[in-house]
Each structure stands twice: as structure tokens, then as C-alpha cells.
Chain A
Amino acid sequence: MSDMYGKGILKGLSVSLKRFIETYLDDLSWWGKRYHTDAGIAHRGSKDARGIFTVQYPEEKIPTPEEFRFVPFLVYDEGPNGEKALRCTSCGICTKVCPPQCIWIVRATDPATGRPIPDPAKFHIDADICMNCGLCAEFCPFDAIKMDHDYELASFHRNVFDETRLSKPASYYASIRPANAAREDAARAAKAASRMVQSE
């Protein structure tokens, strides 16, 4: 026991009091810019944060870091006339590496010959089985399946996503993961260039 009964409690309460005062000091030092500004949100999530810590979702959102992963999506490249070309070749590597086996792919066939063509006819992800592990995106050789940043998926029904729901443009991908997209684009361009050289 400490020398004076209640001293420990008072000491603890002083920590709380300090926190209370710090909130107002921090508010003052930001001149009202502590809330609803990007700098303010970043400050509250930084090592210098003091006082109140709350991010007022939905008005404010914590910025998602580049590597953040939620349910995957399929990347498509936009053609000059707005046509959508899914990067997916239905090679099936994502289905083979998916730990809970939540990806179903039907391979498309050429209507004329009946042979399989590198395109998915159907692509389903059961978002209520998906464990957001990111292995599909990590091992996809065509940069076709990527992990999304959109976490606001709450709905009134069970979520099984099909290829239309899953497709998102490459520009969206570049906007959520700029560094990764730039690196992958460069790698793909280099590969294409080397293939050109070889074929010549």
C-alpha cells in the first residue's frame, strides 16, 4: 500500500484530467481545422496525436493505406471506344490459391469452335466466404484481380458478387494503389517490349 490511501487513484485521475485539458489545447492550436480536414484527420492518427482521438465517420474517414485490402475486384482496361476488356484470362490461379475456395470461374468458349478462350464467362466471388487475405491478387500473373479499398459493402442481403459487380476500371485501380499500379504497368510494358523484340 502506498503511504496515503487514495494517492494512486488521484494519480490516475490526473492522467485523465491531463487528457481532458489536452483536447482543448489541441483544438485551440489547430484553430478549428482539427476536424473535417485531411490534415486534421492525419494528425489525429499520428504519433503527435493528443487529446480526443475520434474520427467522425461517416463525415470523416481514415485514409486507407495503399496496401489495404478488402474483397477483391477484377480490373478491366478501357478501350478507346469505352469497351471493357477484363484483364482476366481465366487461368484459374486465383481459384487454386484461394484458401477458403470462394472463387468460381467458368471459362468462356469460342462460340464458333467451342474451344476455350482466355476470358471468363462467369466469375463469382462469395464475399461472405472471402477472407480478404489477398493471395489471389498476390499470385495473379496478369494483374487482373486486385484487392479493393471499398469497405462500405453492408447490405440487406447475402453478398455473392458476379463479374459485373466485380469489374472496375484500371483507372480506379491506379487511383487506389498508385505505386503498385505504376510498378506493374512498367513491368508489363517491359515484358511486352521484350516480346516484340523476340518476335522481330
Chain B
Amino acid sequence: MESNELNSPETNIPPELQGQVAITSLDRLYNWGRSASVWPLMFGLACCAIEMICAAASRFDIARFGMEIMRPSPRQSDLMIISGTVTKKMIPIIVRLYNQMPEPKYVLAMGACASGGGPFKEGYNVVSGVDKFIPVDVYVPGCPPTPQALLNGLMKIQEKIRSEPIKTARWYQKGPDMAEIPVPILGPDLIDPRNITLFPNGERN
């Protein structure tokens, strides 16, 4: 980040000190640090995962964004890149992984399939968008998005991180953590425990 970006715009620095002194707020410094060390979950689903690997490789190099440390464990990661088609058989695992991630956590829906079901939307084993189950922060259209389009989406995540002040961000407040998302069940079709009330003769007490 350039020093003028880190500088708090509300503070006027005398002209003779410009370029030598940077005044910033704790928020900005803190979020700058956070946004420059987002660790994604090493987790590929489908075609988009290959473009994600390309984005991590030498030509696009997400190390420049501090994101090269892809953690295979959800416990150590901040960002979940949903890179591909989410199927009904896979969604319980994705929800479980999401629940295991510590807060603050972000989700990037990479590509059409993860965002809205994509070309496979009508398929009987396809979830029409991962946002049906877990909250998505950034949507990246494209099928698949090129690595540059993914980097563009990752910059949006950074933008979002920078706009979260410590004072008001939910996860720094007192109170319980975010409620876990109920893990979908595989029945005759996918069962979302949150939708039990929708069943015409559902009697789950």
C-alpha cells in the first residue's frame, strides 16, 4: 500500500513534513495488516480451481497480495474461495468447513457456478449458488473467471476488510460468536435443516 493510502485523509500534514511522516488511525493500520495477509483455504472444487492455481502460480502470483499461504486446514484460514460447482453431495462438507473457520471469515464465490448455479444450475445434484447456505462476500462472474478476474475479486475482499472498523465489527464485540450454520443432511434429496418448517407434513420436534 502506498503511504498516501495509509494516511488518514482527515489529518492534514504540514507540507514540509509530507513524505516523512505518516499519520494514520489504528483502524487503518490494523485493517491494512489484515487485508494484506488473507489466508485462503486450500480448497478447489472444479474448473475454477485450476484458474485459482494459475492465480497462485508464477504469472499472477497472489503472493503479491499476501495470500499465497493457502492453508489446507479451515482452522487457519480467513477466506474460503468457492472455486467451482457446489453439488448437493458436497455442500454438507462445505458448510462444515465454513463452520470450522475462525472469525472474521470471508467467502468469495468464484465463477458462475458458485455464485448462482452457473451452467449446471438445472442439474439434479447441483446447488444453485453457495449463497443458499453460507453468506458470500464477493461474487466473481465468469466461467471460469480468468486469474486476473479472480485477483480483482480478491481486491474487493481487501476493500471490504478495510471498511470494517474495529469498534463496530461484530466479531470484536461482546456476546456470542456467530451461530453455526446447520449442516445440510443427505436424505432422498438434500435437506436443509433451516427449511424444516416448509415441509407440508413435517413433524420434526
Contacts and interface: CB of A to CB of B under 8 A. Distances in A.
Contacts of B145: 151
A154 B140 contact: yes
B149 A154 contact: yes
Given A54-B58, A54-B60, A129-B112, A156 B156 contact: yes
Contacts of B151: 57-58
B112 A130 contact: yes
Contact of B121 (A58, A70, A129): A129
A61 B112 CA distance: 23
A131, A152, A153, A154, most chain B CB atoms within 10 A: A154
A159 B115 contact: yes
A139 interface: no
Chain A interface helix/strand/loop/mixed: loop
B60 A158 contact: no
B148 A129 contact: no
Contacts of A184: none
B103 interface: no
Nearest to A160: B116
Counting chain A residues whose Cβ lies within 8 A of the other chain, the interface size class is: 20 to 34
Given A128-B115, A129-B117, A129-B119, A155 B156 contact: yes
Given A100-B118, A129-B119, A152-B152, A53 B141 contact: no
Interface in A11-70: 52-58, 61-62, 70
A162 B129 CA distance: 20
Interface stretch (B19-27, B131-139, B177-185, B187-195): B131-139
- Size class of the B contact interface (CB-based, 8 Å): 20 to 34
Nearest to A127: B141
B125 interface: no
A41 B165 CA distance: 38
Interface of B: 58-61, 64, 112, 115-122, 129, 131, 137-143, 145-146, 148-149, 151-153, 155-156, 160
Given A58-B155, A151-B146, A151-B152, 18 more contacts: A53-B59, A55-B59, A71-B142, A100-B118, A100-B119, A128-B115, A128-B116, A129-B119, A130-B119, A131-B119, A151-B142, A151-B145, A153-B152, A154-B139, A154-B153, A155-B156, A158-B131, A158-B139
